[in-house]
Each structure stands twice: as structure tokens, then as C-alpha cells.
Amino acid sequence: MSHGYETGRLDLPFVGHCTFGKRPVCTDLDRIDADVAVLGIPYDMGTQYRSGARFGPRAIREASTLFSFGHGGAYDHEDDLVYLPMDKVRIVDVGDVDMVHTDTVKSHANAEAAVRKIIKSGALPVMLGGDHAVNIPCIRAFSDEEPIHIVQIDAHLDFVDVRHGVTEGHGNPMRRAAEQKHVTGITQIGIRNVSSTAREGYEDARARGSKILSVRQARKLGAAGVLEQIPAGARYYVTIDIDGFDPSIAPGTGTPSHGGFLYYEVMEVLQGLVKRGKVVGVDLVEVAPAYDPSGITGFLAAQVLLNFLGYIFAARQS
């Protein structure tokens, strides 16, 4: 009988160090031997309103321990599947990128170097922001790889070119991505309400091939309809700004925008995406725990990531 974890510890969620999903740590980026490498990028100098996303990686790690029940993977009764079996999907937590306060260039360079090492190791890179500016070095790190298509879940288009000299803040990442040769296009989902991107940014994005969907447009299409807007058979880099979700479930973020996605609306797109092509990189950004007193934003981030990883590896195995 295996009920009692007789051979080891009970290891309740509140017990022990906070690593992502309570998985092992490997801070030597040259020695990663895993299927997934989770990297924190605690940068928040790019934000235009509430700062604090530098504590996003810690909050997500702590929240992820809630979902670390059991020793044999996560059973989902709706899909009748055990996701992320410990012996088959090796996840490691590779720690955080070194940050240099006051210096965006160095911080981004450190992030890019770290992601390049993860890619080189063959593990799936999963980055925990930090504000959305951290996506810029992440995308750059793929410059030597096969082309990627970006799927963005976000309230904001983040397509500002340059303003007062700023090119690498949290309003710029999708514009920076669109300039990269290895980025073949962007699907931008959840975009709504006023933001730092003005009309010209939307026109620019469309001109560069972006497909833009609001929450209501995505809702009307349904998950299947949304998936049809995304090129099939591509290599996907998925960037999830937690403010793509509704403030009711993601209050702890710098620039909340009402009218966002509820949980399953996003998850069903992600679950479909893993069957439509190959997910080669993921970031989840803008969790700011100082504005999340009940912790639900951290739980959302952890739950989204762990389930998304489950989908990805279930698809790879089948």
C-alpha cells in the first residue's frame, strides 16, 4: 500500500524551502539536466505605475508549494491524467538572475545570458517576472534558435517604440520582439482599455503582423476560435502578463485593468495550444505581492504555470 508515503516524509505544502513546485534547485546554469528550468528575473524598474514585481518570483515560488501535494504527480480528474509525474518530468529551479539596481542594460544582459544557458541545456525555459520588460532579454535569447511565434496574454499591447528615450520598459516588449528576425509574429490576446500604447502603436503592431484580440472578442470566439487565430505548427513562446486576467483573481499587479479573463478562459487556450505546435519558452510576469494581501494572485500564477507545464509535457508524451 502506498497511501502513507511510508518511505519518506509527508511534506505538507507549508513545510520546507520555497522552490518552484518544491522541485530541486540547480543554480549552476552550466549544469542543468532537466526538462524544465524555472528562472526568476526580479526586475521592476520598467514599470509605469506600481512597482513591486521584483518580489514576483518569491511570491510565485511560495504559492507553488500549495500545489506540491503528493509525491507522484498531479492527478486531474477532468482529464483523468496524472500531470508532471516526478519521475518523468524533471523540473529544476535555477534561482534568480543577478540584478543591478539603477541599471536596466546590465540587468537585461544578465537575464539574456541566463536564458541562453537554459536553452542550451535543452530544458524548457520558464521565466518568472519581474515586470513585462523582462520579456525583452528573454526573446533576445532565442536569436540563435529556430523562429518563434509569440502568444501574449495581456491587458496591454506593450507596443510602444520609444518615448523620452525609453525603449526597454514594460510598455515596449512586444515592439522590441516584433523587430527580431527570429520572431515570426505575435498573437496578442486580452488587450483592453487605455494603456501606454497609443493608436499608432496598434497600427504599427497590425502592420508588423500582430493579431490583436480583446477579452470580449476572444470570449466570443471561444478557445477553439482563438486558437485558429494562431499559426499552426509553430514554435510558441508564451508570455503571460498576469494582468491579462481579471483584477478579481489577479489584484496583485502593477497596472490592473478591469474586464479581464477568468481562469478557464486562458487555460483552455493554453491546453489547446500545446496540441497546435511546440511550446519552447514561457514567461509569467507582473505579479506584485505587495498588492496581493490574500495571496490569490500568487496562487493564480503558480496554478497557471504548473497546469500549463502539465499540458505541455502530456502533449509531448502522447
44 DSSP assignment: -
CA distance 133 to 95: 19
Strand 81-83, strand 74-76: pairing: antiparallel
CB of 230 to its own copies, least distance (A): 19
Which residue lies nearer to its own copies by CB, 162 or 232?
162
Among 173, 185, 251, 281, binds its own copies (CB under 8 A): 251
How many chain residues interact with its own copies (CB under 8 A)? Answer: 111
8 Å CB contact between 64 and 302: yes
Site string for its own copies, 150-189 (x = CB under 8 A): -------x--xxxxxxx-xxx-------------------
Closer residue to its own copies, CB minimum distance, 222 or 293: 293
What cell does 11 get? 511534506
Cell of 243: 494582468
Contact 215, 209 (CB under 8 A): no
If the CB atoms of residues 40 and 244 are measured against its own copies, the closer one turns out to be 40
> 161 by DSSP, 3-state: which?
coil
Whether 241 has a binding-site annotation, put simply, is yes
Q: Which stretch binds its own copies (CB under 8 A): 115-123, 178-186, 259-267, 270-278?
A: 259-267
Nearest distance from residue 83's CB to its own copies, in Å? 8
Of 245, 188, 241, the closest CA to residue 217 belongs to 188
Considering only residues 55-114, where is the footprint of its own copies by CB under 8 A? 55, 58, 61-62, 66-67, 69-70, 72, 74-78, 82-83, 93, 95-104, 106
Amino acid at position 161, single letter? D
Here the cell at position 80 is: 483523468
State the minimum distance, in angstroms, from the CB of residue 231 to its own copies: 21
The single residue among 150, 155, 174, 306 that binds its own copies, judged by CB under 8 A, is 306
139 makes contact with its own copies (CB under 8 A): no
Hey, what's the cell of 158?
506593450
Counting contacts by CB under 8 A, is residue 17 touching its own copies?
A: yes
C-beta of 182: minimal distance to its own copies in Å? Answer: 24
Nearest to 137 by CA among 89, 187, 100: 100
- The answer to whether the annotation marks 98 as part of a ligand binding site is no
State the nearest-atom distance from the C-beta of 147 to its own copies, in Å.
26
In the bound complex, what is the minimum distance in angstroms from residue 100's beta carbon to its own copies?
5
- Residue 46's identity, in one-letter code, is G
Contact flag: residue 207 with its own copies (CB under 8 A): no
Q: Quick one: 29 or 148, whose CB is closer to its own copies?
A: 29
| Sign for the pseudo-dihedral over CA of 299, 301, 304, 308 | negative
Per the structure block, which three cell numbers stand in for 22? 518544491
76 labeled binding residue: no
Backbone angles phi, psi at 3, to 5 degrees: -55, -40
Q: Which helix (H) or strand (E) holds 101?
A: none
